[in-house]
Amino acid sequence: MKRTRYIYSILLSVLFFGLMSYYFLNDLFHFYTAPVISIYENRYLARKPIWTVTNADPYPGEYEKYYNDHFPFRMSLIDFNAGVINYRILKKSPYPKKVNFGKDGWMFFEVERPVYEGELMIDSNQVNAIVTEMHKRAEFFRKKGIKFYFISPPSQTGNIS
């Protein structure tokens, strides 16, 4: 028992030291470089701050923002956390502010909650505007010799829990 615990503690220490060494060496030699723009978040990633005496106070916070954005394999780790840990293991929404779970594992966008819970109602003016627009589109396509189909998927009102 003691020997197994000793081997585990040595392996954990070696793994931790290797991981920390990799991130330190990556910062020096740039084995992995993050893109300038994050395609997942649709924003520019933080730039590496330059340390100067006049920049001494805000430098740690700026460097933390930079490091958080350029952490090696950041998006893979975020996807792993969202998809495997939260969704598969913990059975939680991978993005709780954006996605909710429904029955039988279905997921729904939070912004569409009023629609599928039946809270979003349209008045007769909106219905008339939609009908008028559909007629305009049908006539436009008919003049071009194209068949126009409008399909409205069924929606069931009620609670999603």
pTM of the predicted model over 0.85: no
The token pair at 112 is 């569409």
* pLDDT value for 111: 86
pLDDT, position 61? 93
From the list 38, 102, 25, 106, the residue with the least C-alpha distance to 75 is: 38
The segments of the chain whose pLDDT lies below 70 read 155-161
Helices (H) and strands (E) in the chain, counts: 5, 4
